[in-house]
Amino acid sequence: MQHIALFGVPRSGTTWLGQLLNAHPAIAYRYQPLFSYEFKNYLSADFSAEDAQDFHHKLLHAQSEFVLPKHDFDKADPTALLYKNVRYHQLAERLLEQSDVKMLFISRDPISVLNSWYNAPREFYPEWDIDQEWEHAPAKNGGRPEEFFGFEGWARAEQIHRENAQKFPERVKVVRYDNLVAATLAEVREIFEWLGMELATQVEDFIAATGDRNDNSTYSVFKSPSPVTLPAHIQAQIIQRTKQLTYVDYYA
């Protein structure tokens, strides 16, 4: 059984990419297990190889509706376990060290990420002040180390996964959201080749469907990007701060 962890900060495209990969008949897909009641705090900061092996085994046989997302895809006997994470990025390196997992990280430019968060009513509450939240997201993150909302959360996650990609080049792949949008089929085909899997017709059909539908839902994979309503002065600060980072090339 191949183990695949999909990481990305909130509002970066993990739902879409997760469903694109979930469309494969040989993939068993699990949703944010460490955020679920079933697996909450299952992996500590110093978890062992045995802990990781037990986690993957139990995750394959998960029971809760939260962890087992509903889908309309035909599934064969799975040969790969895929699980999505928008939290707990700080555990990624340990997971690579203590298991055989392959890791995908979807990277999206910070203005688009923060704008999508700002325009998601269930994620950014109307009473919050974007000037107070955009940088550290204190109301949303609540001081919890597993949360990665806000610019600093985005920057921290980017650094973690890009450093992991350098340390584990055969097992960590960074996927650019803008490339995925521009050439979805080609990017997905490349991902499956990297995973050692063939692209399935069911995946190609789903890609075609995502281009033909547009649902007005915050969490839908069938939707157009949110219009940019993030205040201009915040966008300017994000660009300035991003240009100072050595590990990304957005706004270069």
DSSP state letters, 56-105? HHHHHT---TTTS--------S-SEEEEEESS-GGGHHHHHHHS--EEEE
* Whole-number pLDDT of residue 209: 86
| CA pair distance 196, 205, nearest whole angstrom | 20
Residue pair 223/217 in contact (Cβ under 8 Å)? The answer is yes
pTM for this prediction? 0.93
Domains and CATH numbers, the chain: 2-243 (3.40.50.300)
* Whole-number pLDDT of residue 179: 97
Sorting pLDDT into bands at 50, 70 and 90, what band is 70? confident
**What is the overall mean pLDDT for the chain?**
93
* Whole-number pLDDT of residue 224: 61
| CA pair distance 239, 216, nearest whole angstrom | 29
Q: Is the pLDDT of residue 181 over 90?
A: yes
118-137 pLDDT per residue, tens: 999 999 999 999 999 999 99
The share of the chain scoring above pLDDT 70, in percent, equals 94
End-to-end C-alpha distance for the chain, whole angstroms? 40
Choose the weakest-confidence range: 17-26, 73-82, 187-196.
73-82
E strand intervals along 151-206:
172-176
Q: Is the pLDDT of residue 167 over 70?
A: yes
Q: Is the pLDDT of residue 1 over 70?
A: yes
29-40 pLDDT per residue, tens: 999 999 999 999
* Whole-number pLDDT of residue 220: 46
Sorting pLDDT into bands at 50, 70 and 90, what band is 215? very low
* Whole-number pLDDT of residue 221: 52
Choose the weakest-confidence range: 41-45, 70-74, 90-94.
70-74
| CA pair distance 179, 73, nearest whole angstrom | 25
3-state secondary structure of 189: helix
Sorting pLDDT into bands at 50, 70 and 90, what band is 212? low
* Whole-number pLDDT of residue 161: 98
42-51 pLDDT per residue, tens: 999 999 999 9
Q: Is the pLDDT of residue 250 over 50?
A: yes
Q: Give the mean model confidence (pLDDT) for residues 103-108.
A: 98
Q: Give the mean model confidence (pLDDT) for residues 204-215.
A: 75
Report residue 86 as tokens: 């928008």
